Structure 1
Amino acid sequence: MTDAKTPQPVTVALTSGPTGPGSIDDFELFYARRALHRFRTRLGRQGLLDLLAADIEEGNAFLRDSALASDGSFTSGTTVLTTQGLTASEFLAWMDKAFAADENELLAAHPEHYVMAPEADGSFNVVENIGPHVCSFFMGGWGTEAMAWATEAKELLPESEFPHKMSSNLFLADGTVVGRALTQFGDTADGFTASLTVYVPTSCPGDVLEHHLRHYAVEFRNWILAAAAARA
């Protein structure tokens, strides 16, 4: 009997060529973002919605069924980001402007952002991935009785340390609540900390929550960097 040898991993190193800074991964990310921006711009919002219509229908059905099966119970997870060189107030001021008037900045923060648009009733329409599912949902309910859950959430952090808080229900067009969000921001000696909590129906597979925690890390990192660039 012969011993099976484990193949050595294959690696590729950039030895020479490009004179600018960055790794091959950095180059690929730049070109991927440029290509994605081109497709988004050419298709436009309605073109994206038409293209993804079947995916959205399937994704929303998944969320609706998950919410009904969970009977109002949710599983939560939190992504924490630490920022240096920018205050929470500076970042949130940029966010307020972007959410009011700059969909392109919001879309650019994640490859799986398709629509981020305010509605006439004060809610906000988001089309993005929830786990592997493309979904169209709304955020809203700020300052209403529907947000009472946020005052008792176990993830709620001390007001003295995290004074900037936002909470929202995530709901479908028919009103079915399919998730929640609680974001909290507090200044540090040289920047701020962001505590980003998402709630998904308990019947969802574990990878749905895991991937949204990763989603948070990508989009908020990029929004923070965009806020810093706008200030400079």
Structure 2
Amino acid sequence: MTDTQTSPLVTVTLESGPSSAGSIDDFELFYARRALDRFRTRLGRQGLLDLLAADIEEGNAFLRDGAAASDGRFTAGTTVLTTRGLTSGAFLAWMDKAFAGDENALLAAHPEHYVMTPGAYGSFNVVENIGPHVCSFYMGGWGTDAMAWAEDADELLPESDFPHKMSSNLFLADGTVVGRALTQFGDTADGFTASLTVYAPTACPQDVLEHHLRHYAVEFRNWITAAAVGRA
């Protein structure tokens, strides 16, 4: 077994030792996830909120200012994932169950997930990074008149190909809308395609949108994998 890791300054090759399959990066990811899970478990939800209180205040102020400067305008970006070996229906059934009360499964999908729990009036509270900022926001209005914007979105895909659609405003506790989300799923011959669109206030730096497209890729890949494992 050989595994070569390179950087601009040095090349390191694992020639022998571990008997398990995987690269050094795979080993590091396993241990990083295990350490993160330990800290999340020890701190608990309120402990995490207390620890991140100052970061959340700063992050929410960033989003509030960006929304005010954007005057209701948003910039869209879309991450597309293809899956083989699982239908969209099976995946979305797993998601429904997770969002109904399995916070651990939701948190495990991304290192920068801190809180994911039902909020008041049918909303869902999320504490995670938006770009470099830790923010606490709510998702809500699924399928209601508040989501009329989605009916005219340029990113809306044909119903025949993507019949499973969910849209939401992203808003702060004071009601300020700081983003939007539109997720669309359609089956293929051997799996499904997920089109995951996020809308950031136009005044926000481009890297905020770029990082959330990466965020989508990480969290949905891990949720899809978890759903497949759950069916096995």
Structure 2 length-normalised TM: 0.96
Query: Match for 1:143: what amino acid?
Result: G
Alignment correspondent of 1:180: 180
Alignment correspondent of 2:136: 136
Alignment size in residue pairs: 226
Query: Match for 1:194: what amino acid?
Result: A
Query: Match for 2:63: what amino acid?
Result: L
SS in 2 for 1:101: coil
Query: Match for 1:187: what amino acid?
Result: D
Structure 1 length-normalised TM: 0.96
Distance 1:220 1:8 in 2: 31
Alignment correspondent of 1:14: 14
Structure 1 residues 11 and 188: CA distance shift in structure 2, 3 A? same
Alignment correspondent of 2:97: 97
Alpha-carbon displacement from aligned partner over 1:187-215 (angstroms, at most 9, x marks no partner): 00000000000000000001000000000
Alignment correspondent of 2:59: 59
Alignment correspondent of 2:37: 37
Distance 2:59 2:218 in 1: 21
Alpha-carbon displacement from aligned partner over 1:122-163 (angstroms, at most 9, x marks no partner): 100000000000000000011222100000000000000000
Alpha-carbon displacement from aligned partner over 1:74-133 (angstroms, at most 9, x marks no partner): 000000000000000000000000000100000000000000001241100000000000
Alpha-carbon displacement from aligned partner over 1:48-84 (angstroms, at most 9, x marks no partner): 0000000000000000000000000000000000000
Are 2:143 and 2:166, in contact at CA under 8 Å, matched by a contact in 1?
no
Distance 1:9 1:95 in 2: 43
Alpha-carbon displacement from aligned partner over 1:156-193 (angstroms, at most 9, x marks no partner): 00000000000000000000000000000000000000
- CA radius of gyration, larger in: 1
Distance 1:141 1:17 in 2: 53
Query: Match for 1:229: what amino acid?
Result: V
Query: Match for 1:10: what amino acid?
Result: V
1:171 and 2:184 aligned: no
Give how far 1:9 is off: 4.4
Alignment correspondent of 2:76: 76
Structure 1 residues 159 and 14: CA distance shift in structure 2, 3 A? same
Structure 1 residues 23 and 8: CA distance shift in structure 2, 3 A? closer
SS in 2 for 1:143: coil
